[in-house]
Amino acid sequence: MENNTTEKVKQSIQNLRSKNSKIYFLVQDTKNNAKASVRFIYEMAYTIKQNGFNPIILHEKTDYTSVSEWLDDKYMTELPHQSIEGQNLEISPEDFIVLPEIFGFVMEQIKNLPCGKIVLAQSYRYILETLQPGQSWSQFGFLKCITTSNKQKEYLERVMKQTTYDIVSPTISSYFEPRNLPPMPIVAVHTKEQTDTVNLIKTFYLKFPQYRWFTFKDMRGLSEREFADTLKECFLSVWIDDDSAFGTFPLESMSCGVPVMGKIPNIQPEWMNENNGIWVTDKTLMPDFIADFIQNWLEDNIKPDLYEEGKKTVQTYKNKQEFESNVVSLFEGYLKTRADSFELQISKTQA
């Protein structure tokens, strides 16, 4: 290793040890639509920023839409943002790129960059969607992955076998707290596909016209605060998302003291059990289950255990301090491992 190269590697080691390495988090432009997956990225970036790291939010276009419309303004004002479009990004060997699985097509484009590469896999649905047949993360240098649950980790390990996995579970915002007033006859509906919401509401009113005075609230397009305030007014929340491997909406509902009725996803979330919600296997039966719940609610016949079990379940995901500690420890480990590997390279050339 030439002296000039050695000095550059030593500078990289120093940057890693002092947390000056740039950590780029690539995000989607949500166009003012609330997305739990993007909130999760901002939460991680903000956490490490508060603990002396050097995170940068990376987006594709220069006309990136601010997330301040639906998230706290601090995420835009306190986190540096940088566009890929029209920019010549200077990526150094000590830097890192955290790439959501939905950006699989970007992996090949950046495979020759000398930085550390980490996949952030929040939905198993997208891990192969933008990769060519036979392609894997490891062949593009993405040897580490952050995912959100043990269930999803087990699935990913069977598909992407040359990658190591770390788990960081999302937290539930402090906006989602128990209500102070009695609930109203409103059903909150959160579905992956808009058609599921429309079909559910129309089918329910056709089958049970006697309950037309009950209102369904589509939870799309709300800011985080509006989302929480609306949820607190409801007496029931309904969730349909076959592709979810975690599911923040049911946990947010439980945190507000709202019982959850949901279609069991293809990968059952590890927090889900038979007592903390009303879980069904066929979404076409959902209107019937809702009608039964309404009747029991009107007769004040909802078992208290449903509320208590939900409250117990969500406590695990409201520990912000544990989340922050986990994230900081994880990125400290990434930087230390990379610094150690650079030092090993120098020692081998000088031996």
Name the pairing type of β-strands 236-240 and 186-191: parallel
Question: CA gyration radius for the chain?
Answer: 23
Question: Is domain 3-170+319-350 given the CATH code 3.30.160 in the classification?
Answer: no
Over residues 170-197, mean pLDDT: 88
- Residue 324 to residue 342: CA distance in whole angstroms: 27
CB-based burial of residue 86 (10 Å sphere; 0-12 exposed, 13-18 middle, 19+ buried)? exposed
- Residue 12 to residue 342: CA distance in whole angstroms: 8
Instruction: Please state the φ and ψ torsions of residue 55, each to the nearest 5 degrees.
Output: -80, 150
- Residue 348 to residue 278: CA distance in whole angstroms: 60
Grade residue 267 by pLDDT with cuts at 50, 70 and 90. confident
Grade residue 290 by pLDDT with cuts at 50, 70 and 90. very high
Q: Which residues pair with 263 in a beta bridge?
A: 280
pLDDT tens for 199-230 read: 999 999 999 999 999 999 998 878 888 888 99
Structure tokens, 240: 């349909």
Question: Is domain 186-317 given the CATH code 1.10.10.10 in the classification?
Answer: no
For residue 120, what is the enclosing H or E element? strand 116-121
- Cβ atoms 178, 310 nearer than 8 A: no
Longest alpha-carbon distance in the chain: 84
Q: Where are the domains of the chain?
A: 3-170+319-350, 186-317
- Cβ atoms 231, 256 nearer than 8 A: yes
How remote is the C-alpha of 134 from its chain's centroid?
26
> How much is the pLDDT for 2?
62
pLDDT tens for 54-72 read: 999 999 888 999 888 888 8
Instruction: Give me the helix-helix angle, 304-314 and 248-255, nearest 10°.
Output: 120
Grade residue 310 by pLDDT with cuts at 50, 70 and 90. confident
pLDDT tens for 12-71 read: 889 999 999 999 999 999 888 878 889 999 999 999 999 999 999 999 888 999 888 888
CB-based burial of residue 246 (10 Å sphere; 0-12 exposed, 13-18 middle, 19+ buried)? buried
pLDDT tens for 121-144 read: 988 778 888 888 888 899 999 999
Grade residue 296 by pLDDT with cuts at 50, 70 and 90. very high
User: How does the average pLDDT of the chain come out, rounded?
Assistant: 89
The percent of residues in the chain predicted with pLDDT above 70, rounded, is 98
Total-model pTM: 0.87
- Residue 275 to residue 192: CA distance in whole angstroms: 24
- For residue 201, the SS3 value is helix
The amino acid sitting at 256 is: C
- Residue 203 to residue 201: CA distance in whole angstroms: 6
Structure tokens, 130: 């933008």
